[in-house]
Amino acid sequence: MSSILSIKNLEKTFVSTGEKLTVLSDLNLEVEEGKKIVILGESGSGKSTLLNIIGGIDSITAGSVIAGTEKSGKWKVSELREKELCEYRSRFLGLVFQFHYLLKDFTALENVCMPALIAGVPEKIAREKAEQLLQDTGVYERKNHLPSELSGGERQRVAVARALINDPSLILADEPTGNLDPANAGVISGLLFNMVEKYNKTLLLVTHDMKIAENGDEIYRILGGKLAKENGGK
Ligand SMILES: Nc1ncnc2c1ncn2[C@@H]1O[C@H](COP(=O)(O)OP(=O)(O)OP(=O)(O)O)[C@@H](O)[C@H]1O
Ligand SMILES: [Mg+2]
């Protein structure tokens, strides 16, 4: 198994109005391709900050973050310029958040197609891929509905389909079921794990829910700015 993500001695300090807040400190993480990694931690412990750094959304204070495989090539995430960052995000990453961020004036199908069209995939191919993913996530029958016409769980199913459209290697999911009731959260997270398995992806998932965490291959907790390995998982 080869490495897909390598984080070394990562430090993240926020400075606002002269106050310094070190959220992540000397954090290390190695992820092998194909693994499902779950990250737990108290509110404010730095989970979203970590995912935002891997996603190239937040800068780092020290250390290094290298993402990619032999096949995709490696990106030194903390040093990418805007153009490389766009390519890294569109070719390598799939993102799912707590809030679905679907475009409200576009149907489910159009929302799923969008990242592929932006990446230059011809419309017919994008549409076929999107329809397959909507089948997989169980919302194909709702493909012509607007986000406002879908339930919370259905919107997250569409968001999962959209995250996979560009065939990303690494899926970053920040509390993707945080807005759902426990039963729905279990169903949607199960679906996400199944999709990651089916399409051979690597997953980094943040959750508060121990039951969901148990589906991971490896479970970590952010404690004092570092990752501590937890027992459990598969
Ligand atoms: N842009 C910012 N400027 C200053 N401080 C920030 C910024 N973003 C996050 N923080 C602080 O960093 C800490 C970690 O935030 P983060 O959002 O990563 O926590 P989290 O573990 O995701 O929490 P939650 O479970 O509530 O989502 C918090 O104390 C937060 O206030
Ligand atoms: Mg968070």
Mean pLDDT by 10 residues, the chain (234 residues): 94 93 97 97 96 95 95 92 92 92 96 96 98 97 98 96 96 95 93 95 95 95 96 81
What is the Cβ-side half-sphere exposure of residue 162, based on CA atoms within 13 angstroms?
A: 28
Report pLDDT for 71. 85
Burial of 141 (0-12, 13-18, 19+ CB in 10 A): exposed
Q: Is 59 in the pocket of ligand 1 (CB under 6 A)?
A: no
Q: Is 56 in the pocket of ligand 1 (CB under 6 A)?
A: no
According to DSSP, residue 199 is labeled T
Tell me, what amino acid is at 36?
K
Could you tell which of 10, 12, 45 is best to mutate to test the pocket of ligand 1, judged by most ligand atoms within 8 Å of the CB? 45
Q: Which of 60, 62, 84, 83 is nearest to 74 (CA)?
A: 84
Q: Which of 88, 82, 46, 51 is nearest to 67 (CA)?
A: 88
Q: How far is CA 131 from the centre of its chain?
A: 21
Whole-model pTM: value is 0.95
- Lookup: tokens for 76: 């030194």
- Lookup: tokens for 79: 């040093």
* CA-nearest residue, atom 18 of ligand 1: 46
Q: Is 41 in the pocket of ligand 1 (CB under 6 A)?
A: yes
Q: Is 23 in the pocket of ligand 1 (CB under 6 A)?
A: yes
Cα gap 133→160, rounded to integer Å:
9
Q: Is 99 in the pocket of ligand 1 (CB under 6 A)?
A: no
Q: Is 45 in the pocket of ligand 1 (CB under 6 A)?
A: yes
Q: Which of 174, 131, 129 is nearest to 156 (CA)?
A: 174
Report pLDDT for 18. 86
Could you tell which of 48, 174, 226 is best to mutate to test the pocket of ligand 1, judged by most ligand atoms within 8 Å of the CB? 48
Report pLDDT for 152. 94
Report pLDDT for 233. 78
* CA-nearest residue, atom 4 of ligand 1: 14
Report pLDDT for 125. 98
CB 66 within 8 A of CB 75: yes
- Tell me, in angstroms, the distance from the centre of ligand 1 to residue 136's CA: 34
